[in-house]
Chains A and B, each alone.
Chain A
Amino acid sequence: MALFAVFQTSFLLALLSLRAYQSEVLVEPLPLTPESLNVSIDSAHQYLNLQWSVHSLAYYQELKMLFQIQISRMKTSNVIWVGNYSTVVKRDPVLHWSWKSELPLECATHFVRMRSRVDDAKIPEPRFWSNWSSWKEADAQKSLGRDPLFLFPKDKLVEEGSNVTICYMSRNQQDNISCYLEGQQIHGEQLDSNVSAFKLNKVSFIRKTGTNIFCKVDQKDVIKGIVLFVSKVLEEPKDFSCETQDFKTLTCTWDPGTDTSLPKRSSQSYTLFESFSGKKILCEHKNSCNWQVDSDSQEMYNFTLVAENALGNRSVSVLFSLTHRVHPKTPYNLFLKNVSGTKATVTWKVHPIGNYSTLLCQLDLLGEGNVIQQHNVSIKENGEYLLSELEPDTEYMARVRCADANHFWKWSGSISQKFITAEAAPSEALDVWRNVKSVSGRPTVTLFWKPLSKLHANGKILSYNVTVENLDRPSGLEVHSVPATANGTELTLDQDSYQIHVTALNSAGPSPASVIVVSGDPGNEEVEEERVNGTEDGFSVSWKPQSGKAIGYVVEWCDHPQDLPCDLQWKNLSSNTTSTVISSGAFRPGVRYNFRIYEISTERMAYLLEKKAGYLKELAPSDNPQVVVSNLTSHSFTLSWKDYSTDSQLGFIQGYYVYLRSKAEKECHPGFKKATLPDKSACCQHRIDNPEQKTFVMENLQPESVYEFLVTPYTSAGSGPLDAFTKVTTPDEYSHILIRIILPMIVCVLLIMITCYLKSQWMKEKCYPDIPDPYKSNVLSLIKSKENPHLTIMNVSDCVPDAIEVIHKPEGSKIQFLGASKSLTETEFTKPAYLYLLPAEKNYSGPGPCICFENLTYNEAAADSGSCGHFPVTPEALPGQPGPLTSPENLLKALEKNYMNSLGETAAGEASLNYVSQLASQMSGDKDSLPANPPEPVLCSEYKMQMAIPLGLASPPPAENSGLSSTTPLDQSEHYR
């Protein structure tokens, strides 16, 4: 066992010795360890530049080698990057290599070392790495100075969206430093005690003057900052293409995209490189470049456009044949000549593009903006084309553009010219219709026609000609000229038949005539009207031919039947047509349209065939009829709405609903059924299916009950509004009987009252006779008869009274003037009030003849006594001796008698008069002053009635005189009339 162990050890030692020997043999001839490694810093671009050399390439001119490089940061052990660099090494070479640092190199010391290995096929394997070179230090901090704070990198230019690492380095570890990006504080990673780094991801463009990043030392007025210039991303040129217009110059164009320029930094530049010729030009513009075509020898071109700025470049290529990139110039001198109503010739010119090139020109004819005709014309230089099938009096536009006929690339620009074709006579006859009506017994024909369309008018219509020819009585033609603005005219004819020709005229001539025959006889108008249903498309109208000789049909209607004029419309239909759909944009739901179908005979006369009426869509009635209540009894009343027109509603009236409701009755009458109104209230409904039935009798009602009713029509779309019920109250059962009794009674009473009124004069004469006028009395006539003109009644000068004694109420503390006798009550009067005129002679000592006047008007006691008479004052019936006078006649007789007696006595101067009357005094209104101021005799006082009473008769009773009488002396000169 021990022997085996010794043997094994010896074998291994021998193997190791062999291996070491082999290595020495291989390495020794190729000692390629990198030498003279030098590291420098490029701060502007943040590069570590490495330079080294390799010696002893004695046996080889060149050798491919691989170098492995290690980079450490802060300290050698902190390797941050390892990479290989392969290159061909020549004899005594100096090699260069650069490494771009993300972290600004000023912020940290970097160390570099490398080793190498032959990587060439000329050297057989195995190949071994050389030894590492020694670490080389790259330290930019030494040259920074003594500022307390540094921030890197300065003025770095990056593309938008890239990642940037910034760092600051502080001299004093105690300082508290805060950093900001555009005012927002940022936080980084501390690399060392005085170095921190911030990684900004996907930086964005903020402004052209750069993004400001700064750091401040807290509590100190130290600020350091950098500006990060963020450029827009350089875009690849878009739509890059080249073309020629004359085979002399190639114009290349492209869309440059976003401008990446920044202040003090140039924008991107564009370079055009052609690979076949090897030529390269710097483009003057950002979006185009001109390339001179030197000769005809080069047919193919391969262009590469390179866009480049400080951060990079973008390129795009295009390969083409020159003849395939011909873009002709815009044609010129486009003219229209020989323009007629239907034809025109177009001419134009093009710029030649070569001796043998042919251009394909496209001629477009446009009308109202649309291409009507399109023609292709191959030309060399001059183009010409005859346009035909044009419409007269129409504006067109001719447009021409051209392209290379052999290899189409692009159309040239277009040139266009407008023109108007000449006018021509209207090509179609007018569409004429008529309406015949009778005005003052004479048929009046209103002609309507539809204006010719622009297509058929062929120009501006100047006027219309209407020629009227009497067919029954050949005579001269009657021609009417109607202005172009009119679309109809009215003709007054007689009962004959007339043939009417209507033509439209423009500057080129008349249109074909439209012929229509009318007759004074309107024909059969009594055609039963049928109903027609409307649909969304219109009204589908059909009819049955009658004569079989019709040359056509006309359907007539009004677009606005409720207006005046109703906008008459018509539609012509051929003779083999028996139905059509009438549609119009004017049709509205809820409007009744009436259609009349006419048959046009071979004589061109129209006969009414059928009448149709319909609604495009029926609607529910909007109004209810005005209902009149009549025949109101205690058990029934009648409803009628005869004024309601069923023709002018929103739909065909199919009938009516009669609604009745009453609080008194819960059950519906026979013929009614329960219904619920929109307000959820219950009522009774009766349906009338006949739209012409416009009366209804409500029966079986309760007396003295309130009923509410409503009549509403209904159509296929529904019924009218259920809102306004009308109240009716039934009378009680006996009221009519009472009326039969009371009414005659009232009539009788009225008759009596009227009779009484009419006979009131008679009644008054009987009950309240007027006070007789003394001047009209018989007494006066008696005096006259005695032919004594000086004698008159109440001539005071004749009487010579001395005093007036007023006899009044015998009792009462206050003295009443006679004129205020109304204040006296009935009981206060016991005797008539009399005014006595007493003689004033001193020698008068006893009763004598006197005249007594009685005022019957104020003798209320007498009037109220109900007796028409009073106690006459007669010699036999003096106060204290009362006796009735049976009548005024008796009284007059008595007076006449006494008067005659007194005349005789007066003349002897022996008689005296006692006047009893009322003073129509001016003081009559001053009642209260009377007691204090006894009435003075007033001149010109009047007496309504005078009665001459013998003095003895007029003497008042002594007892009464003491209370009511007052005696006023009268002067001799005072007279009473």
Chain B
Amino acid sequence: MRPQLVQRTLLSLVLGLLFLSTAATGKCSGKYHELLQQLQSQADLMQDTSTLLDPYIHFQGLDQAGLKEHCKESPGAFPSEDTLRGLSQRGFLRTLNATLGHVLHRLTALQQDLTIAQDQGRNIRGFRSNIHCMSQLLRGSSEVETAEPTQPGPEATLPPTPSSDTFQHKLQGCRFLRGYHRFMHSAGQVFKEWADSRSRSRSRRHRPPRALQRGARRMRPFRRDERLMPRGQLPQ
């Protein structure tokens, strides 16, 4: 248990440092690549089951033969990777933001049982802050905003947590966390594709998109009523 604790502490420390540039300063980075890399790193760390799921399973006594296999993601609880890939960048970010909002809500309930959920809640807030920055960056770019519905988050698909059946509550919490980690893995893959796409684009054009550069220069506070104007090609 002690090595796990140390591992988790270190992980929280790393995540905290990653969020330092945004959450602590309150200012968004204007560099697309830097922000993307940060989001990717955060997603990679948050997909790690040792941060949340494994402690939860141990704490609830679910680490027993016959029970573990029932701790699998409930279908439809979180958007699939294919669904995420099919979204536009801004749609993806919106979905990610909304889903993590639901996760935060659920983690609040889990905090009573698992103190480590509190640390993860902070991490998710920091991640959402970076999503906000990325959205702001993209908004400054020329991507055409389309009316794209946000994919349903876990709140819409998961049944309400029963209060009387603790056993089912344990299992559902386990499944939920399993889905959360899988979802973050998928999000990380999407971010990776973004990065790969940008590299290919750079190799073709040898310079970053003008719109992005402009967007980076024009970093300004996020406004909900601000609409994206078609100004150029965003890296896909």
Seen from chain A, the residues whose Cβ lies within 8 Å of a Cβ on chain B are 154-155, 180, 182-183, 206-207, 209-212, 214, 216, 221, 223-227, 263-264
Contact = CB atoms under 8 A, between A and B. Distances in A.
5 contacts: A155-B164, A155-B166, A182-B61, A209-B61, A209-B170
B59 interface: yes
A41 to B, nearest CB: 15
A212 B63 CA distance: 11
B112 A214 contact: no
Interface residues of B, number: 18
Interface stretch (B64-72, B133-141, B188-196, B200-208): B64-72
Contact of B64 (A183, A209, A221): A183
Given A155-B165, A207-B61, 15 more contacts: A154-B164, A154-B166, A183-B64, A183-B67, A207-B59, A209-B61, A210-B61, A212-B61, A212-B67, A212-B167, A214-B67, A214-B167, A225-B171, A226-B165, A227-B166
B60 A209 contact: yes
A959 to B, nearest CB: 124
Interface string B61-104: 11011110010000000000000000000000000000000000
A223 B61 contact: no
B113 interface: yes
B94 to A, nearest CB: 34
B87 to A, nearest CB: 31
Contact of A154 (B66, B165, B171): B165
A457 B174 CA distance: 80
B115 to A, nearest CB: 12
Contacts of B171: 223, 225
A263 B111 CA distance: 11
Contacts of B67: 183, 212, 214, 223
Interface string B153-176: 000000000001111101100000
A490 B166 CA distance: 95
A180 B64 contact: yes
A214 B61 contact: no
B178 to A, nearest CB: 15
Contacts of A226: 165-167
A263 B167 CA distance: 14
A227 B165 CA distance: 8
Nearest to A215: B66
A206 B61 contact: yes
B70 A223 contact: yes
Contacts of A210: 61, 166
Nearest to B162: A154
A745 B1 CA distance: 104
Most B-side CB within 10 Å, residue of A207, A224, A225: A225
B66 A183 contact: yes
Contacts, number: 55
A106 B69 CA distance: 28
A209 B57 CA distance: 11
Contacts of B113: 209, 263
A227 B64 contact: no
Contacts of A183: 64-67
A184 to B, nearest CB: 9
Contacts of A224: 167
A228 to B, nearest CB: 10
B166 A214 contact: no
Nearest to B59: A209
Interface of B: 59-62, 64-67, 70, 112-113, 164-168, 170-171
Contacts of B170: 209, 212, 227
A183 B62 CA distance: 9
A264 B112 contact: yes
A210 B170 CA distance: 11
Contacts of B65: 183
A212 B165 CA distance: 12
Contact of A214 (B59, B60, B66): B66
Contact of B66 (A180, A221, A263): A180
A154 B170 CA distance: 13
A216 B166 CA distance: 17
A211 B167 CA distance: 10
Contacts of B62: 212
B64 A182 contact: yes
A155 B165 CA distance: 7
Contacts of A212: 60-62, 64, 67, 167, 170
B72 to A, nearest CB: 10
A100 to B, nearest CB: 20
* 9 pairs of A and B residues whose beta carbons are closest in the complex: A183-B64, A225-B167, A227-B166, A155-B166, A227-B167, A212-B61, A209-B60, A223-B70, A183-B65
A180 B70 CA distance: 14
B151 to A, nearest CB: 26
A126 to B, nearest CB: 52
A206 B64 CA distance: 14
B164 A211 contact: no
Contacts of B66: 180, 183, 214, 216, 223
Contacts of A263: 112-113
Nearest to A229: B166
A102 B65 CA distance: 29
A181 to B, nearest CB: 10
Contacts of A225: 167-168, 171
A12 to B, nearest CB: 65
Contact of B167 (A154, A182, A206): A154
A389 B168 CA distance: 80
Nearest to A209: B60
Contacts of B60: 209, 212
Contacts of A155: 164-166
Contacts of A209: 59-61, 113, 170
Contacts of A182: 61, 64
Nearest to A211: B61
Contacts of B64: 180, 182-183, 212
A264 B169 CA distance: 14
B111 to A, nearest CB: 12
Nearest to A182: B64
A131 to B, nearest CB: 41
A804 B67 CA distance: 135
A437 B166 CA distance: 100
A224 B168 CA distance: 8
B236 to A, nearest CB: 39
A26 B166 CA distance: 57
A206 B112 CA distance: 19
A490 B171 CA distance: 95
A212 B171 CA distance: 11
Nearest to B168: A225
A211 to B, nearest CB: 7
A207 B168 CA distance: 17
B21 to A, nearest CB: 37
Contacts of B167: 154, 212, 214, 224-227
Nearest to B72: A221
A856 B66 CA distance: 129
A859 to B, nearest CB: 112
Nearest to A181: B64
Nearest to B60: A209
Nearest to B165: A154
A704 B193 CA distance: 111
Nearest to A221: B70
Nearest to A206: B61
B126 to A, nearest CB: 28
A223 B168 CA distance: 9
A208 to B, nearest CB: 9
A210 B166 CA distance: 9
A221 B61 CA distance: 20
Contacts of B61: 182, 206-207, 209-212
Contacts of A154: 164-167
Contacts of A264: 112
Nearest to B64: A183
Contacts of A221: 70
Contacts of B112: 263-264
Nearest to B114: A209
